[in-house]
């Protein structure tokens, strides 16, 4: 799959946001709302990451 530089950057930034949220979830110190606000993800995306992390 060939991505334009702009698309590649956007995809990389989104992955970074998810990585940040996952680390915060693993720390267990933050509410979902805080994780969403800091990571830039929606609460729904954070909830999905939490569910995926629990089943992994």
Question: pTM (2 decimals)?
Answer: 0.85
Cα–Cα distance, 9 to 31 (Å, whole number): 28
Cα–Cα distance, 51 to 45 (Å, whole number): 10
pLDDT digits (tens, 9 = 90+) for 1-11: 688 999 999 99
For the chain, what are the domain ranges? Answer: 5-55
Cα–Cα distance, 49 to 44 (Å, whole number): 9
Structure tokens that stand for 29 in this block:
């110190």
pLDDT digits (tens, 9 = 90+) for 1-56: 688 999 999 999 999 999 999 999 999 999 999 999 999 999 999 999 999 998 87
Distances from the Cα of 44 to the Cαs of 9, 15, 41, in angstroms? 23, 16, 8
């Amino acid at each position: 799959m060939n991505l334009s530089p702009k698309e590649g950057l956007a995809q990389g930034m989104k992955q970074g946001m998810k990585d940040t949220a996952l680390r915060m979830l693993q720390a267990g110190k933050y509410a979902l709302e805080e994780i969403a606000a800091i990571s830039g993800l929606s609460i729904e995306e954070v909830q999905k990451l939490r569910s995926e992390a629990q089943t992994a």
